[in-house]
Structure 1
Amino acid sequence: MQSTRRDLPQLFSDARRWFDEGLLAALEAAGATPVSPTQVQLFAVLDGDGTTVSELARRMGVTRQTAHQAVHGLVAAGLLEQAPDPASARRRLIRRTGEGERVHHQARTILDRLEEQLAERISREAVDALRAALEAEWGRPPSPSP
């Protein structure tokens, strides 16, 4: 008989989707510029002072091309801009525009509300325990055994 127990990566993916869908629906209801889940993820890993496309791709776990496409969509929407990197003449930093900062702040407020809604559904203790487990130092992934 097959087990119906789902593994942790599947559960993490479902939890991520729950937050992403709630965030995107709330942003749409507020009249914000429509963005994709990939663009939401890009915003989440972007440093305040700017980040290179290569670093964004690494943090997101996607190709540079995928990160570049997400950046270009957000630049076209007026939420991001490209600026010279003072540390390297060859690189450009991606950073939020004033409107991008406003939307980022709005998204943070929505995510806080979603977390509170989750706490109402599964309990504050469960959310706090989940947060503590995810914030704990897990170390590097184990190496395969010979």
Structure 2
Amino acid sequence: MQSTRRNLPQLLGDARRWFEEGLSAAMQAAGATPVSPTQAWLFAVLDDQGTTVSELARRMGVTRQTAHQAVHSLLAAGLVEQVQDPASARQRLIRRTEEGVRAHRQAGIVLERLEEQLAERIGREAVDALRAALEAPWGRPPSPSSQ
């Protein structure tokens, strides 16, 4: 018989989707430009001064092509812009537009409210323990030889 116990990555994925869906619904209700979870993740890892597409892809754990597609759609929505990298004539930086800064700030407020709602549902101690566990240094993933 197959176990019904879900593994930790599945549970973490569900938790992430809970926040993504709550964020998306709240932002849509506020009249913000709709964005996909990938676009929202790109926005979250974007530096204020700008970030290259290659670095965005690395931070997101996706291919450069996936990051480029997300950037392209956010450019079209007017939430980010491309600017010349002052450190390199060959590179362009992606950074938030004024509208993007406003949307990012609004999303931060929504995420704080979602965390408070979660604390009301599962308890402040559980949320604090979850945060502490996720913020703790886990080190590099084990190598195949150590498993």
Same fold by TM-score greater than 0.5? yes
Within 2, Cα distance between the matches of 1:86 and 1:41?
A: 25
Deviant stretches of 4+, over 3 Å = none
Over residues 39-87 of structure 1, what are the superposed CA-to-partner deviations in whole Å (9 max), with x where a residue is unaligned?
A: 0010011111111000111111111111111101111111000011111
1:44 partner letter = A
Equivalent AA in structure 1 for residue 46 of structure 2:
L
Q: Which residue of 1 aligns with 2:89?
A: 89
Superposed displacement of residue 144, structure 1: 1.2
CA distance in 1, matches of 2:114, 2:90: 40
Q: Does 1:144 align with 2:144?
A: yes
Question: Percent of counterpart pairs with the same letter?
Answer: 81
* 1:59-98 correspondence to structure 2 within 5 Å: 59-98=59-98
Offset, 1:142: 1.0
**Residue ranges of structure 2 left out of the alignment (5+ in a row):** none
Say yes or no: does 1:36 pair with 2:41. no
Answering whether residue 24 of structure 2 is matched by residue 24 of structure 1, we say yes
- 3-state DSSP class of the match of 1:18? helix
SS of residue matched to 2:91: strand
Distance 2:50 2:106 in 1: 19
User: In the alignment, residue 116 of structure 2 is paired with which amino acid?
Assistant: E
Q: Using structure 1 for the length normalisation, give the TM-score.
A: 0.98
TM-score w.r.t. the length of structure 2 is 0.97
Number of residues paired by the alignment?
146
Structure 1, unmatched stretches of 5+, are none
